[in-house]
A = this chain, B = another copy of it.
């Protein structure tokens, strides 16, 4: 079998350069308002190169989105592994979100403001698979505590909004500069609230 013409070694690097340039543009100018030329200028490459690697502007945004979500998710599963109680788990979900958003503020701003991306079918499928795998793992982690009666039994689709919704909402606020209190300073408040909302009492 022929393996000729495999991706060049430098390709991954070029991709990263483009993604970084795109993120900076999206952040400063907004997704809709940045042009491919602006991305090209910042990445110091050609239009052809942009389209070769990502196919379209939405392709660039999709890749950025998927990379970001994957990083966020991976970090949570990592930390959840070291948790020993329902309360510890719930608080970790909230606090990890807060930490990640604080650490990756620019990327987080992009993720949170990008409900507008018109994902191509393949990207949509990839995202769906990522979410399924991730939330499958999270639910299987928490399941036992519900069974044991340490957490309320609720309609399954409501756990995530109840636990993550508030800090996500605040993150949007903070990232858009409409509040002065840093996310890190109020993360514990949201961790408390989440636990109070789902603990069996």
Contact = CB atoms under 8 A, between A and B. Distances in A.
Interface of A: 30-33, 112-116, 118, 154-155, 157-158, 160-162, 164-170, 172-173, 179, 181, 185-186, 189-190, 193-194, 196-198
Given A113-B115, A115-B112, A118-B30, A170 B166 contact: no
B158 A186 contact: yes
Contact of A166 (B118, B155, B162, B185): B162
A173 B168 CA distance: 14
A172 to B, nearest CB: 7
Contacts of A116: 30-32, 113-116
A123 B148 CA distance: 52
A55 to B, nearest CB: 16
Given A116-B116, A196-B197, A170 B165 contact: yes
Contacts of A196: 196-197
A157 B169 contact: no
**Residue of A112, A164, A170, A197 with most partner-chain B CB within 10 A:** A197
Given A30-B118, A118-B33, A161 B167 contact: yes
A197 B32 CA distance: 37
B173 A157 contact: yes
A138 B22 CA distance: 40
A161 B197 CA distance: 13
A63 to B, nearest CB: 17
A170 B186 contact: no
A111 to B, nearest CB: 11
